[in-house]
Amino acid sequence: MPNMIGKSLLTAFTLCVMSALQQQMVHALSMLKAPTSPGFHNTLTSSRLIFPCQPRSKCTNLRLDTGGERLNARLGKVYDAGLEYETELMAARISDSHIRAFARDGIVPLRKVIGKEWIDLMKEGTRNGRAEDCVESLSLFAKKGPLRSVSCRLLNSAKSLLVSSWLYSDFECDRDFQRPEIGTEEVIKTTVAFFVPLDSVSEDESIKVLRGSHLWSEDSFPKGHQISADVSQQLSIGADLEPGDCVAFHGRSVMNKHVREGSGGVLVAYAADTADSSCNLEEVWEDKLYGMRGETPTTVVQWSKGIAPPNKDWYT
């Protein structure tokens, strides 16, 4: 009899823990602290960081005296399932209109695709503490964040391969346009990069891309080439951005290195499954609905400006 009561109490306790964890899942990322040391500042702003290591989840480190290893594994799966659901949800919000705009212009702004918990996690990575924690937070965002599925949609790919990721503690403005050094020419042909601001950025201060430049040959825009102010004004595309928004641009797009002092940001790049296999890029997402989605009525203007259709809750 005492054993039966003990088992019942353990079962009830387990159910309570699982219920509480599900309710608090949106806050789970806030438990991961990713500060940086003052000496790591320049490294972040100048270096390209590639992370082959697996991110460490707070839930997978949790130990319950009464639950044991099996319960701990179940909690970790619930945590990961929440991140996978978030990623699938973002894939559903990308319409054929966005895909066509990206293919035509090489850039498209996206609204409210990144949750506040992710933004807070990245901000922690630019403020204080250990460099290894900062690397961990960026790795977690790149490998578990919602932009994995968005890259599949924009690149018309069944899988998303992580190319590289950067975390900047602040941004400065550079008016010169150039092709970003994301990877080899073979890789960037099938690459999309995302600029994720950690604070509000106006269109004048935002990253800008020359419309259609991802389709230009290398000879038409050699390294170090300068363009006139008139041409850049006619062709450049930018956007007002708030935390949670991002700009997606093609890896071959000619862009300005637009970085605003005092405002942190993240750049993360993914390649399609057609990328050069010799690069051994890590697969971070597989779109199980690839090729099965139909056209949606969403327009780029509606979504990028946050304009909802009448009588519809746009973001749920």
- Domains and their CATH numbers in the chain: 2-304 (3.10.129.150)
Q: What is the mean pLDDT of residues 234-258?
A: 84
CA distance 241 to 195: 10
Helix, coil or strand: residue 300: helix
Q: What is the DSSP string of 34-86?
A: ----GGGHHHHHH--B---SPPPPTGGG---TTTHHHHHHHHHHHHHHHHHHH
CA distance 284 to 39: 30
pTM over 0.75: no
CA distance 155 to 210: 19
Q: What is the mean pLDDT of residues 213-223?
A: 73
Higher-pLDDT residue of 60, 269: 269
Q: Which of 155, 228, 142, 218 is nearest to 191 (CA)?
A: 155
Rg (CA), the chain: 21
For 277-284, the CB contacts below 8 A with 24+ separation are 279/183, 279/184, 279/186, 279/187, 281/161, 281/162, 281/163, 281/187, 282/52, 282/143, 282/161, 282/162, 283/159, 283/160, 283/161, 283/162, 284/142, 284/143, 284/144, 284/148, 284/160, 284/161, 284/162
Q: What is the mean pLDDT of residues 213-232?
A: 67
Determine which of 40-54, 108-122, 270-284, 302-316 has the lowest per-residue pLDDT on average.
40-54
The pLDDT tens digits for 80-95 are 777 888 888 888 888 8
Beta bridge partners of 160: 285
The DSSP symbol for 203 reads: G
pLDDT of residue 305: 52
Higher-pLDDT residue of 198, 278: 198
Instruction: Write down the residue that tokens 């290894």 correspond to.
Output: 132
pLDDT of residue 105: 92
The pLDDT tens digits for 284-294 are 999 988 888 76
CA distance 179 to 43: 21
Looking at the chain, the whole-number percentage of residues with pLDDT higher than 90 is: 21
Determine which of 29-33, 199-203, 283-287 has the lowest per-residue pLDDT on average.
29-33
pLDDT of residue 19: 52
